[in-house]
A and B are shown apart, each in its own frame.
Chain A
């Protein structure tokens, strides 16, 4: 071995200006908050402008992928499912190898891509993506889980690059106060952005799609 010649190659090189690899955005959040619905909306809205692909980590391997296929938002070859061995957070944080393989295989098979969305398996408020896997992360919570969720904090709510509070259409039905959620999110997140969304009322996920578009131009 020649230690002097050893450069410790970075296993996941940073994105560079020449677009050597796609921008990777992680989408995390509790079960049922609307991650898959958001991925589908982003695909519908962005597919015309961006070359994109999706990696899903649902504990039931084919569930999320099937949803995307059924809704015709992406052809099957643009979706990869990763098995997570009962530990969805391990696959996106502690041992990201299967997700890295999936991202790299998509680009190897499909040619250059602009954007890969990585949906985590539904987990709790403590799950976040490794920076070795994604460039940015979105955390999705919903109002049906109660307006206390932002106050509870946790790494997802506190540190995600974008917090999405989804299902605002349900707020009156569950007695959730959106202004309380907005105030608590600000307190937890400082200057980091939070958007309120209802995918029922805005199936294009406009504010999230705009945020993603902004990133792809950076």
Chain B
């Protein structure tokens, strides 16, 4: 099943991710992320919070968890209305793509992105651990590729950073796939940044 995993985790998979910066655009404009070191810290913070939660929910959805319970759980964990909207928009895009490729067990058109990811991964024949890995990887690569576009960072250096984060990504995914209680870590600056970002006249990314 490894090729299917690569397909789903590929940044070129047409599921709307390219238009979302994972909070990076807000952080860049606020002056919190200016260079590769800042990006390193930003990605680590994101992976340890949003990344772990997303990976755990993706794994739970993939394992056949009740979709509505998981949706409510993510709503409760996502303070920012703008981030709930962004999550659902990406979930919708992923369901559209997933439905074209595989047979989904739900007619739901819009779900939180991690839940959609779990549902689509299961339909593709992937395991909860693989769904968690895809989610954790995506929380890192989305903002990393946005950083290349927004800050003009060297793409080699940025990919080297992602490579350095690979063991952390693996560890977060492994933990997410084995936890008993769904985690509820949060990153307040991401919530605040997302709310500010949503009010801008001029923005390049949807979130």
Structural contact, B202 and A11, CB atoms closer than 8 A: no
Cβ-defined partner of B14 (8 Å) among A10, A61, A62, A96: A96
Query: Which residue of the partner chain B has the closest CB to A10?
Result: B100
Query: Which residue of the partner chain A has the closest CB to B25?
Result: A85
Structural contact, B19 and A84, CB atoms closer than 8 A: yes
Encoded as 1 (CB less than 8 Å from any A CB) or 0, chain B from 122 to 151 comes to 010100000000000000000000100110
Encoded as 1 (CB less than 8 Å from any A CB) or 0, chain B from 7 to 32 comes to 00000101111111100000000000
Choose, from B39-47, B90-98, B181-189, the stretch at the interface: B90-98
Cβ-defined partner of A62 (8 Å) among B20, B93, B103, B201: B201
Assess whether B89 is interfacial by the CB under 8 Å rule.
yes
Cβ-defined partner of B206 (8 Å) among A6, A11, A59, A85: A85
Structural contact, B149 and A101, CB atoms closer than 8 A: no
Asked whether A97 and B146 contact (CB < 8 A) given A61-B203, A85-B18, A87-B18, the answer is no
Asked whether A9 and B99 contact (CB < 8 A) given A1-B123, A86-B150, A95-B15, the answer is yes
Structural contact, B100 and A86, CB atoms closer than 8 A: no
With a cutoff of 8 Å between Cβ atoms, the chain B residues found around residue A9 in the complex are: 99-100
Q: Number of residue pairs across A and B with beta carbons under 8 Å?
A: 83
Q: Once bound together, how far apart are the Cα atoms of A86 and B201, in whole Å?
A: 16
Assess whether B1 is interfacial by the CB under 8 Å rule.
no
Structural contact, B204 and A94, CB atoms closer than 8 A: no
Asked whether A98 and B206 contact (CB < 8 A) given A11-B99, A86-B149, A90-B18, the answer is yes
A196 CB to closest chain B CB (Å) equals 34
With a cutoff of 8 Å between Cβ atoms, the chain B residues found around residue A6 in the complex are: 102-103
A131 CB to closest chain B CB (Å) equals 14
Scan residues 79-109 of chain B and give those whose CB is less than 8 A from a CB of chain A: 89, 92-93, 96-97, 99-103
Asked whether A95 and B14 contact (CB < 8 A) given A5-B103, A85-B20, A85-B146, the answer is yes
A93 CB to closest chain B CB (Å) equals 10
Assess whether A135 is interfacial by the CB under 8 Å rule.
no
Cβ-defined partner of B97 (8 Å) among A10, A11, A63, A91: A11
Query: Which residue of the partner chain A has the closest CB to B146?
Result: A85
Scan residues 75-111 of chain A and give those whose CB is less than 8 A from a CB of chain B: 82-87, 90-91, 94-98, 100-101
Interface of A toward B, CB cutoff 8 Å: 1-2, 5-6, 8-11, 59-63, 82-87, 90-91, 94-98, 100-101
Could you jot down 19 A-B contacts, CB within 8 Å? Answer: A2-B103, A59-B204, A63-B202, A83-B19, A84-B19, A84-B204, A85-B21, A86-B146, A86-B149, A91-B18, A91-B19, A94-B12, A95-B15, A95-B18, A97-B15, A97-B16, A98-B19, A98-B206, A101-B96
Interface of B toward A, CB cutoff 8 Å: 12, 14-21, 89, 92-93, 96-97, 99-103, 123, 125, 146, 149-150, 201-206
